[in-house]
Amino acid sequence: MAKTYIFGHKNPDTDAIASAIIMADFEQQTGNSEAASYRLGEIGPETQFALDHFKVEAPELLNDNLADQNVILVDHNEFQQSADSIADATIQHVVDHHRISNFETAAPLYYRAEPVGCTATILYKMYKERGFEIKPEIAGLMISAIISDSLLFKSPTCTEEDVQTAEALKAIANVDLESYGLDMLKAGASTTDKSISDILSMDAKSFNMGDYSTHIGQVNTVDIDEVFARQEELTKAMLETSANEKYDLFVLVVTDIINSDSKILVVGPETDKVGKAFNVELENNTAFLPGVVSRKKQVVPQITEALNEVV
């Protein structure tokens, strides 16, 4: 049987890493013994906390050329967020909860996308549909992914299905959702020991928005001011990255996981359109966005609409 590579997006978050591991376990239960999980970037402290808690090894970093290789994508579909050689791979399956964009294949495939808060929620349904065993560590990773993507059920992307899934899994994983969730989120929230590069890349995605190339990073914290104390350094690095990668916009979303608000830092020639997207005036390339915590639902659609607005 040919090897199957399973991985989430670049700059992986907890859902991307957890879903790759979970999907590999799912595939192995179908009889695909050659299914293996991989990652497209470094493991963040929040994700490492979850892996350590449930005693799961991190996936191997993917370095192989995927030309003519079988792959399964989880937690993403857009090619610019995927492996560099993804266009030459044979995509067999996608499991995702994001928009579908910049994606095409030469052959039919299994594609499952649902408007829930987390890919792991969809994977849980797939296990239940097939009657597959959910081991404690798999249950733990599912819970971790849901808590991460929903900010402990506070994000507007969180659905009742996400909440019910976590509730159904907590006994298997043997965790208290509230206490475990807070500990996990806080593990990834300190930025004092992170480099500027780490802050900008730990959870960053590129998007094609009409004629514009936009890069949006997000960092969760318990102290927004802690991050913005380094605004000059962040701005310089964002401008350099934008020049090298030819981004029209680079937006950093700094999210307070306790109070569920965000502050953004924006660089690029289309900065004024970001202000219009949120109906705010940018001051020193920044703006406070009360109640905004979800990049997928509260940032990407708004900026996309503003960039594509006909003047």
Condensed to tens digits (0 to 9), the pLDDT of residues 141-167 reads: 999 999 999 999 999 999 999 999 999
DSSP state of 283: B
The arithmetic mean of pLDDT across residues 78-83, rounded, is: 96
Per-residue pLDDT at 237 exceeds 90 = yes
Task: Report whether 211 belongs to an annotated binding site.
Answer: no
Per-residue pLDDT at 311 exceeds 80 = no
| Alpha-carbon span 54 to 34, nearest angstrom | 23
| Alpha-carbon span 45 to 186, nearest angstrom | 9
The arithmetic mean of pLDDT across residues 12-28, rounded, is: 98
Percent of the chain topping pLDDT 70: 99
Pairing of β 110-113 and β 204-209:
unpaired
Task: Report whether 15 belongs to an annotated binding site.
Answer: yes
Q: For residue 38, what are its two tokens?
A: 């991989």
What is the structure's pLDDT at 202?
Answer: 84
**CA within 13 Å, CB half, 310:** 0
What is the structure's pLDDT at 8?
Answer: 98
- Residue showing tokens 């239940």: 128
| Alpha-carbon span 58 to 105, nearest angstrom | 29
CB of 2 within 8 A of CB of 25? no
The arithmetic mean of pLDDT across residues 264-293, rounded, is: 95
Percent of the chain topping pLDDT 90: 93
| Alpha-carbon span 174 to 180, nearest angstrom | 10
55 phi-psi bin (left φ>0, alpha ψ -120 to 50, beta other): left
What is the structure's pLDDT at 189?
Answer: 87
The arithmetic mean of pLDDT across residues 4-30, rounded, is: 98
DSSP per-residue codes, 54-89: TT-PPPEEP-S--TT-EEEEES---GGGS-TTGGGS
Per-residue pLDDT at 310 exceeds 60 = no
Task: Report whether 149 belongs to an annotated binding site.
Answer: yes
Task: Report whether 84 belongs to an annotated binding site.
Answer: no
Give phi and psi for 223, each to the nearest 5.
Answer: -150, 95
The answer to whether the pTM exceeds 0.85 is no
Taking residue 154's Cβ as centre, other Cβ atoms within 10 Å add up to: 14
**81-119 residue pLDDT tens:** 999 999 999 999 999 999 999 999 999 999 999 999 999
Q: For residue 121, what are its two tokens?
A: 């929620």
Per-residue pLDDT at 126 exceeds 90 = yes
Residue 23: pLDDT band (50, 70, 90) is: very high
Looking at the DSSP bridge assignments, the partners of residue 218 are: 253
Amino acid at 165: T
Per-residue pLDDT at 229 exceeds 60 = yes
Task: Report whether 272 belongs to an annotated binding site.
Answer: no
What is the structure's pLDDT at 2?
Answer: 86
| Alpha-carbon span 127 to 139, nearest angstrom | 11
- Residue showing tokens 């401008």: 239
What is the structure's pLDDT at 309?
Answer: 80
Task: Report whether 9 belongs to an annotated binding site.
Answer: yes
Residue 192: pLDDT band (50, 70, 90) is: confident
Residue 261: pLDDT band (50, 70, 90) is: very high
| Alpha-carbon span 246 to 242, nearest angstrom | 5
What is the structure's pLDDT at 193?
Answer: 85
Per-residue pLDDT at 257 exceeds 70 = yes
What is the structure's pLDDT at 291?
Answer: 95
| Alpha-carbon span 73 to 70, nearest angstrom | 10
Q: From 167, 104, 125, 162, select the one nearest 22 (Cα to Cα).
A: 125
What is the structure's pLDDT at 82?
Answer: 97
Q: pLDDT higher for 59 or 190?
A: 59
What is the structure's pLDDT at 190?
Answer: 84
Give the total residue count for the chain.
311
